Amino acid sequence: MIAIEARGLTKTYRVYQKREGVWASITGLFHREFKTVEAVRDVSFSIEEGEMVAFLGPNGAGKTTTLKLLSGLIYPTSGEAQVLGYVPWKREHAFRRRFSLVMGQKNQLWWDLPAQESFQLHREIYRIPDEQFRKRRDELTELLEVKDLVGQPVRELSLGERMRMELIAALLHSPEVLLLDEPTIGLDVVSQRRVQEFLRYYQAERKITVILTSHYMKDVEALCRRAIIINDGEIKHDGPLSEIVERLSRHKIILLQFGMNEQPENLERFGNVIEVMPPRAKIEVDRQLVPEVLAAILAEYQIADVGVQDRPLEDVIAEVFSQSNANTRDD
């Protein structure tokens, strides 16, 4: 069964172009200039019930816009979508009770109230029966280890704790579709991992359908098997995440800090020099060659500090879609 389907979804915004200068601002009152931004263009995909799909792309790619369309927060300019058989922007009550949208950058809980009050509010909005509500709340607060914090005003909680409360609020009514827009943004590594672990457990247990956007490859790797890549409002790739992970790990970035009297020169021999900002330099190196290259550099230069990192997700995404364009594989 297909849970989420988008066909030719397009959303354009008209944005006011401010012209420069005072005179232009005055005439601008009479003669406004608009520019159209195509936030999402002809986006199509379908997601099976119980799938957990990563939605990846650089800033401004159209991820949030797509999730807003699928939640019915905004209307499309053209195209169609169905979520659990409902057209989201019709905003039927029955639909609202079956999905949830969590935005890492936005608060859905009442800031000055303890989370438990917001939970009560959700109980009423979604008309969750008392017994079920209590059971769900206790189960979720236990799983996310925030039982002792539900009575504290939300504004006093740490970002990680607040995010976990947001998740609880979003799941109290047992939605079958969960749309997660950067649920781990800004979280420290420990909180990030806790959210990941929870989501993995919960999804496996309940077999809900999830779309997850994230800039952190770690989240995505931990949770999803399929990735849809979007850039400039268009879908560039839809396939197994393993392909992307493989590309991501094919190369590593070596970060070097050179000693006081050392010049970071002639580094091209070691790999693809990404940046030289004395006393620092960044080189991209084939994963297998990292030990060898590090040894050679350390033997030749006086190095104050060294680190090895993964390539940024954004770079890999750029590579993936430049190649899929070249292969004319997008259809």
Closest distance to ligand ATP from the beta carbon of 183 (Å) = 13
Note whether 110 binds ligand ATP by CB under 6 A.
no
* Residue 65 near which of ligand ATP, Mg ion, none (CB within 5-8 Å, type-dependent): ligand ATP
Note whether 13 binds ligand ATP by CB under 6 A.
yes
Closest distance to ligand ATP from the beta carbon of 57 (Å) = 5
Closest distance to Mg ion from the beta carbon of 244 (Å) = 19
* Residue 37 near which of ligand ATP, Mg ion, none (CB within 5-8 Å, type-dependent): ligand ATP
Determine contact, residues 163/104, Cβ cutoff 8 Å.
yes
Note whether 104 binds ligand ATP by CB under 6 A.
no
* Residue 214 near which of Mg ion, ligand ATP, none (CB within 5-8 Å, type-dependent): none
Note whether 240 binds ligand ATP by CB under 6 A.
no
Note whether 87 binds ligand ATP by CB under 6 A.
no
Among 6, 52, 56, 62, binds ligand ATP (CB under 6 A): 62
Note whether 63 binds ligand ATP by CB under 6 A.
yes
* Positions that interact with ligand ATP (CB under 6 A): 13, 15, 37, 39, 57, 59-65
